[in-house]
């Protein structure tokens, strides 16, 4: 699917929703595995985020953030073949946050590269920090990312895909093709 050809503005909330799998309803409104898939037309790159959230208490959560990012056009919703100047990285972050009703914050301080399928000479990454509200009626975490770098109040729509660990084939390091 080329987002623009479907009448969707690449990077928009509606375009993000179109790339996500159907939602899963769980007993806990926060815990589980959440997925976001977003194209940034300014940088001509993609990000596929997987949040795995565990509730520690009524108001505390912990887990991981896995970010798979790659260079490409609006039609490259999965990584293309590595080209000169392109990149394809996966990073993992231990994360924690707070819950206040349906409002959550979930972020990390550091990251670790777990895969560099198309490395670039000088790779740097800013740990992600998502803040937003969970809409239980549609099982979405509507958030913004503030990583202190390129993503300042950048909108991301997460959809819950599992109540527990990621389902087979949709683990945090799975192919983006599995997320559609």
Residue 43 to residue 158: CA distance in whole angstroms: 21
Residue 118 to residue 120: CA distance in whole angstroms: 7
Residue 80 to residue 125: CA distance in whole angstroms: 21
Q: What is the pTM of this model?
A: 0.85
Q: Does residue 172 lie within any of the structural domains? A: no
Q: What CATH number did the domain enclosing 56 receive?
A: 2.40.128
Q: Does residue 59 lie within any of the structural domains? A: yes
Q: Does residue 177 lie within any of the structural domains? A: no
Residue 128 to residue 28: CA distance in whole angstroms: 23
Give the containing element (helix H, strand E) for 144: strand 140-145
Residue 43 contacts residue 30 (beta carbons within 8 Å): no
Q: Does residue 175 lie within any of the structural domains? A: no
pLDDT digit string, tens, across residues 92-148: 999 999 999 999 999 999 999 999 999 998 899 999 999 999 998 888 999 999 999
Mean pLDDT of 50-55: 96
Is residue 93 packed enough to be buried (19+ CB in 10 Å), middle (13-18) or exposed (0-12)? buried
Q: Does residue 16 lie within any of the structural domains? A: yes
pLDDT digit string, tens, across residues 73-93: 988 988 999 988 899 999 999
Q: Does residue 22 lie within any of the structural domains? A: yes
Q: Does residue 75 lie within any of the structural domains? A: yes
pLDDT digit string, tens, across residues 29-38: 999 999 999 9
> Over the chain, what is the mean pLDDT?
86
Residue 78 contacts residue 53 (beta carbons within 8 Å): no
Domain that holds residue 133: 3-164
Q: How many domains does the chain have?
A: 1
Q: Does residue 113 lie within any of the structural domains? A: yes
């Amino acid at each position: 699917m080329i987002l623009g050809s479907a009448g969707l503005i690449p990077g928009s909330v509606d375009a993000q929703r179109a790339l996500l799998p159907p939602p899963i309803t769980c007993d806990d409104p926060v815990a589980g595995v959440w997925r976001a898939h977003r194209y940034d037309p300014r940088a001509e790159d993609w990000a596929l985020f997987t949040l795995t959230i565990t509730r520690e208490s009524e108001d505390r959560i912990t887990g991981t953030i896995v970010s798979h990012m790659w260079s490409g056009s609006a039609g490259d919703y999965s990584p293309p073949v590595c080209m000169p100047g392109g990149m394809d990285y996966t990073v993992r972050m231990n994360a924690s946050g707070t819950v206040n009703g349906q409002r959550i914050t979930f972020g990390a301080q550091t990251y670790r590269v777990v895969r560099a399928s198309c490395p670039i000479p000088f790779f740097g990454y800013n740990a992600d920090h998502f803040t937003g509200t969970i809409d239980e009626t549609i099982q979405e975490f509507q958030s913004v990312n503030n990583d202190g770098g390129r993503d300042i109040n950048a909108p991301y729509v997460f959809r819950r895909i599992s109540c527990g660990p990621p389902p087979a084939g949709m683990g945090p390091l799975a192919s983006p093709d599995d997320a559609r």
